[in-house]
């Protein structure tokens, strides 16, 4: 039978139905608004890049002018295309004219609306064709070389210098890493602009820029050719520039991006209205690009106890999945996050962690779950840390996780050295090789400790989702439901960048990226008592 939990499918369906309704309530709000970061993302999709005389990115300068001129409700595509038609300029030339203060797009009489929309749709189609070409290229390489066995070994580089990151990333790939994540510089999520060009200084990470994406993509393509296997690249699409960074990731062929519907709200105090609007557009672009998203539920367990708060992780996974569906993202691209964070002093903590991992797999069988290593209870004792990571590795292969972020024995000591990463890879490869078919050799005892734990967590999850549905997601976050963190709907950073869409708002990508997989009405009736649904 294998390591398969017998769980109440009606409860799972109930949770899905509640999550659909919860996200539907928010979607109605999303559909009435835009943000400055979405409008800048549209300009980047049209090909606008570079900076003005003072180093301010051109997309920022154009959108700031539109916002100051009271035109944001029409959308940046409307004003850009109108200026293109009037002056016979390209998108880049319009942006450069704005930067040079030769052009004020909202001060001119708009061109024919039909012509504006026709031009915008054509430009958007050309942009999406480029993104889909990147996706086809990736898929061709994967077909040529094949996929590595699950779990994929995911490691991080975080030097601050993109050129040093390249060296470390290629070394990690040669040591066996399947996925390289370039950790973003501390607090970049709070910048309301994307820095320009390659960077050689960062804080506990490297700045996410289009140039840095391009440099690392080239380096991993080179080592992929050398090794005869496709090495995936990851970065972060979160914070105040979430949609823009998602666009840059799509344009430069990133393969995974951290993209959570609530992480920025809870852990970076970014305004929830801004975040919910931004994540919808960002994920629509990522879905078109075939980018696997990684959600951030593991972070809940850095502030809350893993044994007591497991149901908040599962509830958030259901919500994140449904938000992604509403952006047109299929389950195969939704890497829901969870973590091995049980207190080492807890009796049977390993079994509880295994039950939680199996429950996530049972609830989301088609999603490439991302399993995170122990961090909260890493003390600096590298010997115990190495053993804890070994147990984490065992659960990952035994429960058939897909994306496995390697634990470092020096967690809580320093940023990993090359040899720390080597030891982490060797630990995981040893465990994965020796327990490759673990799931085939054992079975979960019916009604035993694992199933009882899973049933308890699932029941608490449904109860929590019922509570969130009744009060609304924004109010639930305000009450500290997730990670014990309270945020106000009108608080945090970035609310001034939210705008109501006017009746003639124009964003051609919203039409061309119309969701298909899992697409649902924005609002509906209450979930049925039985919880029947379409399976997510």
Q: Which residues are catalytic?
A: 263, 298, 370
Of 33, 38, 29, residue with least CA distance to 473: 29
Angstrom distance (rounded) from CA 159 to CA 183? 8
Within 13 A of 328's CA, how many CA atoms are on the CB side? 19
Residues 84-120 as b/e (b if ≥16 CB within 10 A, e otherwise) read bbeeebebeebbbbbbeeebebbeeebbeeeebbebb
Angstrom distance (rounded) from CA 361 to CA 206? 33
Tokens 């450069």 locate to 96
Angstrom distance (rounded) from CA 5 to CA 443? 9
Tokens 């539109």 locate to 66
514: left (phi over 0), alpha (psi -120 to 50) or beta: beta
Residues forming beta bridges with residue 51, ordered by sequence position: 57
Sequence-distant (6+) residues with CB within 8 A of 286 are 237, 246, 249, 250, 257, 259, 293, 327, 329, 333
Angstrom distance (rounded) from CA 105 to CA 71? 9
The beta strand positions in 89-231, using DSSP E, are: 152-157, 179-182
Let me know: does 25 contact 465? Beta carbons within 8 Å.
Answer: no
Tokens standing for residue 436: 């490759």
């Amino acid at each position: 039978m294998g390591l398969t939990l017998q769980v109440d499918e009606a409860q799972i369906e109930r949770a899905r139905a509640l999550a659909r309704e919860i996200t539907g309530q928010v979607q109605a709000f999303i559909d009435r608004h835009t943000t400055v970061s979405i409008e800048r993302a549209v300009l980047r999709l049209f090909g606008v890049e570079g900076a003005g005389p003072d180093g301010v990115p051109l997309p920022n300068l154009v959108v700031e002018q539109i916002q100051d001129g009271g035109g944001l409700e029409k959308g940046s595509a409307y004003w850009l295309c109108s200026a293109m038609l009037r002056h016979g300029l390209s998108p880049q030339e319009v942006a450069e004219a704005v930067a040079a203060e030769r052009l004020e797009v909202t001060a001119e009489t708009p061109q024919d609306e039909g012509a504006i929309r026709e031009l915008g749709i054509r430009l958007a189609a050309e942009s999406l064709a480029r993104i889909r070409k990147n996706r086809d290229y990736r898929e061709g390489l994967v077909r040529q070389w094949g996929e590595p066995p699950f779990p994929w070994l995911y490691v991080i580089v975080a030097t601050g210098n993109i050129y040093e990151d390249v060296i470390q990333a290629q070394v990690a790939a040669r040591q066996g890493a399947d996925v390289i994540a370039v950790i973003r510089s501390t607090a970049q999520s709070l910048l309301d602009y994307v820095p320009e060009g390659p960077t050689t200084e960062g804080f506990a990470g490297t700045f996410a820029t289009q140039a840095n994406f391009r440099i690392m993509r080239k380096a991993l393509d080179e080592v992929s050719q050398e090794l005869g296997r496709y090495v995936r690249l990851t970065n972060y699409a979160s914070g105040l520039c979430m949609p823009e960074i998602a666009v840059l990731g799509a344009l430069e062929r990133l393969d995974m991006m951290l993209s959570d519907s609530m992480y920025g709200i809870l852990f970076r105090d970014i305004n929830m209205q801004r975040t919910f609007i931004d994540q919808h557009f960002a994920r629509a672009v990522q879905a078109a690009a075939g980018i696997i998203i990684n959600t951030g539920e593991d972070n809940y367990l850095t502030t809350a106890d893993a044994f007591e708060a497991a149901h908040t992780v599962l509830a958030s996974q259901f919500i994140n999945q449904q938000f992604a569906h509403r952006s047109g993202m299929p389950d195969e691209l939704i890497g829901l996050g969870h973590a091995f964070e049980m207190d080492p002093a807890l009796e049977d903590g390993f079994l509880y962690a295994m039950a939680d991992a199996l429950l996530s797999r049972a609830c989301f069988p088609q999603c490439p779950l991302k399993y995170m290593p122990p961090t909260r209870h890493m003390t600096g004792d590298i010997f115990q840390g190495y053993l804890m990571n070994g147990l984490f590795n065992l659960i990952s292969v035994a429960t058939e996780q897909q994306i496995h972020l390697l634990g470092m024995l020096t967690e809580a000591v320093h940023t990993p050295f090359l040899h720390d990463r080597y030891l982490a890879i060797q630990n995981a490869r040893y465990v994965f090789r020796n327990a490759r078919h673990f799931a085939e050799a054992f079975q979960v005892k019916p009604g035993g400790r694992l199933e009882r734990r899973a049933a308890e967590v699932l029941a608490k999850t449904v109860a929590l989702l019922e509570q969130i549905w009744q009060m609304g997601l924004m109010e639930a976050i305000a009450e500290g439901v997730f990670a014990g963190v309270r945020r106000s709907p009108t608080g945090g950073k970035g609310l001034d960048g939210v705008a109501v869409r006017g009746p003639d708002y124009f964003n051609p990508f919203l039409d061309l990226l119309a969701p298909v997989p899992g697409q649902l009405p924005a609002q509906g009736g209450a979930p049925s008592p039985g919880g029947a649904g379409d399976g997510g």
